[in-house]
Structure 1
Amino acid sequence: MCNVINPILRALYGLFTKATPLSLSAYKVTIKEDCTPFILSNEQLGTIMDDMDKAIKNGLGKETNPSSIVKCFVTYIQDLPNGTERGKFLALDLGGTNFRILFIELGENEYFHMDSEIFKVPSHIQTGKGTELFDHIAKCLAEFVKKHNLDNKKALPLGFTFSFPLRQIGLTKGYLESWTKGFNCSGVVNEDVVKLLKDAIKRRNDIEIDVCGILNDTTGTIMSCAWKNPNTKIGLIVGTGCNACYVEKVENAELFIGDKSKPHVIVNTEWGAFGDDGIIDSIRTIYDRKLDENSLNPGHQRFEKMISGMYMGEIVRMVIVDLTNQKKLFDGRLSEQMKTPGTFDTSFVSDIESDETNYKETLKVLNEMGIVKPSFVDCANVQFICECVSKRSAHLVSAGLATLLNKMSEKTVTIGVDGSVYRFHPYFHKIMVEKIKQLVNPEIKFDLMLSEDGSGRGAALVAAVAIRDEQYNRQPLDS
């Protein structure tokens, strides 16, 4: 009984003293020692940075790339927006069961107009023939063009965001490495997806579309932010997945076979796979190992699994279950829902950490998870677990960004950022800024800029830059 009365008395006392009665500091967190494996020192992060720097250099090298875990795909995008882009463009954003088609118009004085529509990829098409997938996309493109009364007397330029592992050998030529996210269309792996799209459009013969560039969402993030801030040289996604791209010197990108008269090219690191060779095993917890073993791709994307929104909530759930089984939470009582993998959404982590004084959101989440009448100490403990897991995520991302900043060695860099974790977690941005400052070379200045629809607007801007320069290759290099 005392365990219930004491928090209530403290809360009442706090009300009269105008304190914050139910804040995290008001109740003793009793599971701090259990969460220490999630707390990484700057020395540990420094080791991660050294290892990542080596992995990126291996990914860039012609001889070392085949065995490199971090692949560093060359995007063949060499020019960033400078604000002079004008015209009407289409964008196609394919990265999951739904895809978007966008119409974007750019004009004077940063004029921007956008219309967009979401289309579904039926389940039978996701696992059917590749020609059926691209015929479906072409059909939706034709419907969109006609619905929005777009002038189709001349070919509409289109930027294509394709958020699956892609090996590019040109701005408009990219080969699918492997399907993910539930897709398994036959006849697409190791094929040029731009050609497959063009062939599908040609089969219809009712619309004129010119695919000017293919990209992934990190590249789109750079392009979207660079349109407003030309100093943007890194793109980061922290959402369902986690990845980064950056502006690299052409001479360092040994696999690049494009225009070497231009000094730079954007490189897509695909750093989510960092650690798949075991190099980060020393910082992986028992929960990380269990999550990986039970995932759809065990042994792969280990760095991403310690960071991204697809996994963060599940890690928190596993910690809660483990500590409850040790009778350190909820008097050892677990709900069936909390026992069930995948039920603790990462959005719950943001909700819980947004609590400041009354645990209202924490209680709401725990009740939704079937935990009835948790004590305020339980709430403080759960909030601390969420804080440790999300802070580790932010610190690992910060180590990756500091690695890129130090490698680029530019005096000032803007980092374009997108993704649900970064957008909606109440403290992720602040934690990242503080940690990057501690890890990066002191002479380097940086800032973080939230991207506005990188996968949509960014794709259109790839097309806009290609049209602006009138230098993109309509017949890319043959493999």
Structure 2
Amino acid sequence: MKTKNRSLFSKLCKCYSKKDIPRRCENEDLHPDPTIEIRDACKDLVLSDDQLRLVMQKLTDEINRGLSRATHDDAIVKCFTTYVQDLPNGTEKGNFLALDLGGTNFRVLLITLDRQNFDMKSKIYAIPQSLMLGTGTQLFDHIAQCLALFVKDLNMQNEVLPLGFTFSFPLTQYGLTEGHLVRWTKGFNCSGVIGEDVVALLEEAISRRNDVKIDVCAILNDTTGTLMSCAWKNRNCRIGLIVGTGSNACYVEKTKNAQCAIPGNYSENKSHMLINTEWGAFGESGVLDFVITEFDRAIDENSINPTKQLFEKMISGMYMGELARLVLEKLVNAGLLFGGKCPSDLRNRGKFFTKYVSEIENDPKGRYTNCRDILAELGLRNVSDQDCENVRYVCSVVSRRAAHLVSAGIAALLNKMGEDNVTVGIDGSVYRFHPYFHDLMTAKISELQTYKFDLMLSEDGSGRGAALVAAVASQRR
């Protein structure tokens, strides 16, 4: 994939040393740099390569525990088998539905495949917070209603439509069409779903309506969908990565190493199988305490799932803005920012959005248009250039740490696979919209391991991948 935002990245690189700490730029008399006090307050958020290599080692150990039948039940990084063993080969044809559920919105897609050509129609539906925290029956009835409306709008209610269900929460799978929810993440806490087969819950909700003909052919994680979507275009795609509201990765593993797979529910004659790592949980056993900061602990303590998903909380878009806010609040309280005056919005959890991080870092060096606009929204006007530069530094430290932790995870997977020319298919709002995330990952993965790789943006998200899984599964049937 061609490197994006190269000009922006080259400007950023001029301001960063090899140790990832900004130093003075050319024209230093025109543009302020972060003060020594600001850098010192943020030093725990700047990770060395030695720390990142230790993260890689510990993640590899956890993955091996998840794959082993003997340790899987107690493993933190579960490495769930997906039972997806066939990648698309370009011969898939027909109409296929995809349902992509993984955040505060979900998407329904109709994909028409004709060998290497495809046509896609889609619609996004909101999930009110009342449903995110209500009952499972209410949630799946809402999803079934939106599915039916979508199919009827296309006048396809009398056609049997195979469906691939992307369900972006930790699942224990017992086959391609049976997946039991392990835990809710990303702000969901619907009752009556944990431990249940979510395919059955969806099918029951569709049956209660009895007005559309939908055949659920597969359930998969968004990482698997991303990998499948990219593999349709690029046969070298062997890793799927999400860096958005949450973070997770899947990869192609040798079937013989997937000891935790249930015999009889897959073909042991196939050489490989996709593994859903669920690496967001990495760190729950304390193995990441050496890089956990006071800000991470505050994020965790105030989350709806304390002590859970610690790796994800250091990386993903659901938490990145809040991490930056906590750092900024500490700096104000210490009198290092805004003259020690903190507007009420900056003291309120969730008021510094993750999109602010990307927008502030997108300002050209020495110009602070986005930064000033955002600070004005928070009630801060007439701020100095030095304050703006300090705010930008805080945002860059938080986002760079996220990019480097993700890079350590991908480097660990590349080492484990031991193959050259692996393409990593990536989706998610953080990777897609942050101006430097791609380039930061490319540079750091190269530093942490020696295999050749490529990063590929999943242009159509995990939805097309879900339809492709359904297409491959329905053909196998």
* TM-score of the pair, normalised by structure 1: 0.89
Partner of 2:163: 158
Distance 2:402 2:272 in 1: 30
Closer, same or farther: CA 290–172 of 1 in aligned 2, 3 Å: same
Amino acid at match of 1:299: T
Partner of 1:212: 217
Partner of 1:227: 232
1:70 aligns with 2:77: yes
Closer, same or farther: CA 171–22 of 1 in aligned 2, 3 Å: farther
Report the Cα offset of residue 372 of structure 1.
Answer: 2.1
Report the Cα offset of residue 143 of structure 1.
Answer: 2.5
Question: Is the deviation greater in 224-233 or in 79-88?
Answer: 79-88
1:412 aligns with 2:421: yes
Report the Cα offset of residue 127 of structure 1.
Answer: 4.7
1:34-73 equivalence runs, <5 A? 34-73=41-80
Question: Is the deviation greater in 422-431 or in 315-324?
Answer: 315-324
Report the 3-state secondary structure (helix = DSSP H, G, I; strand = E; otherwise coil) of the residue aligned with 2:253. strand
On the 8 A contact 2:186/2:246 being kept in 1, the answer is: no
Closer, same or farther: CA 232–86 of 1 in aligned 2, 3 Å: same
Report the Cα offset of residue 129 of structure 1.
Answer: 4.5
Distance 1:185 1:315 in 2: 26
Distance 1:408 1:324 in 2: 46
Distance 1:316 1:185 in 2: 29
Report the Cα offset of residue 30 of structure 1.
Answer: 5.0
On the 8 A contact 2:107/2:125 being kept in 1, the answer is: yes
On the 8 A contact 1:288/1:305 being kept in 2, the answer is: yes
Partner of 2:174: 169
Gap regions ≥5 residues in structure 2: 1-25
How many residue pairs end up in the alignment?
448
Report the Cα offset of residue 38 of structure 1.
Answer: 1.2
Partner of 1:284: 292
Report the Cα offset of residue 378 of structure 1.
Answer: 1.2
Instruction: Spell out, residue by residue over 1:239-275, the C-alpha distance to the aligned partner (whole angstroms, 9 max, x if none).
Output: 1111111111111111112211111111111111111
Closer, same or farther: CA 388–132 of 1 in aligned 2, 3 Å: closer
Distance 1:306 1:173 in 2: 31
Amino acid at match of 1:312: M
Amino acid at match of 2:149: E
Amino acid at match of 1:260: E
| Structure 2 residue corresponding to 1:252, chosen from 257, 265, 284 | 257
| Structure 2 residue corresponding to 1:422, chosen from 408, 420, 431 | 431
Gap regions ≥5 residues in structure 1: 1-17, 472-479
Partner of 1:8: none
Report the 3-state secondary structure (helix = DSSP H, G, I; strand = E; otherwise coil) of the residue aligned with 1:77. coil
| RMSD of aligned Cα (Å) | 2.0
Amino acid at match of 1:341: R
1:338 aligns with 2:346: yes
Distance 1:239 1:309 in 2: 5
On the 8 A contact 2:32/2:385 being kept in 1, the answer is: no
Distance 1:122 1:339 in 2: 26
On the 8 A contact 1:416/1:448 being kept in 2, the answer is: yes
Partner of 2:317: 309
Amino acid at match of 1:391: R
Amino acid at match of 2:200: K
Distance 1:62 1:143 in 2: 43
Closer, same or farther: CA 71–35 of 1 in aligned 2, 3 Å: same
Distance 2:297 2:133 in 1: 30
Report the Cα offset of residue 401 of structure 1.
Answer: 0.3
Amino acid at match of 2:304: L
Amino acid at match of 2:60: D
Distance 2:354 2:119 in 1: 33
Report the Cα offset of residue 180 of structure 1.
Answer: 3.6
Amino acid at match of 2:145: K
Report the Cα offset of residue 140 of structure 1.
Answer: 2.8
Report the Cα offset of residue 391 of structure 1.
Answer: 0.7
Distance 2:327 2:188 in 1: 31
Distance 2:157 2:346 in 1: 54
Instruction: Spell out, residue by residue over 1:55-114, the C-alpha distance to the aligned partner (whole angstroms, 9 max, x if none).
Output: 000011111111111111111111111222211101112224432221111124x32211
| Structure 2 residue corresponding to 1:130, chosen from 132, 136, 147 | 136
Report the Cα offset of residue 130 of structure 1.
Answer: 3.4
Partner of 1:101: 108
Partner of 2:152: 146
Instruction: Spell out, residue by residue over 1:150-207, the C-alpha distance to the aligned partner (whole angstroms, 9 max, x if none).
Output: 2734x21110111222110100111112234454444332221112222333343332
Partner of 2:468: 461
Question: Is the deviation greater in 339-348 or in 431-440?
Answer: 339-348
1:293 aligns with 2:301: yes
Report the Cα offset of residue 128 of structure 1.
Answer: 4.7
1:176-215 equivalence runs, <5 A? 176-215=181-220
Instruction: Spell out, residue by residue over 1:355-414, the C-alpha distance to the aligned partner (whole angstroms, 9 max, x if none).
Output: 113111111122222222211111111111111111111110000000000000012100
Quick one: percent identity of the two aligned structures? 58
Report the 3-state secondary structure (helix = DSSP H, G, I; strand = E; otherwise coil) of the residue aligned with 2:456. strand
Report the 3-state secondary structure (helix = DSSP H, G, I; strand = E; otherwise coil) of the residue aligned with 1:388. helix
Partner of 1:358: 367
Report the Cα offset of residue 281 of structure 1.
Answer: 0.8
Report the Cα offset of residue 118 of structure 1.
Answer: 2.7
Report the Cα offset of residue 457 of structure 1.
Answer: 1.0
On the 8 A contact 1:22/1:358 being kept in 2, the answer is: no
Partner of 2:10: none
Closer, same or farther: CA 29–359 of 1 in aligned 2, 3 Å: farther
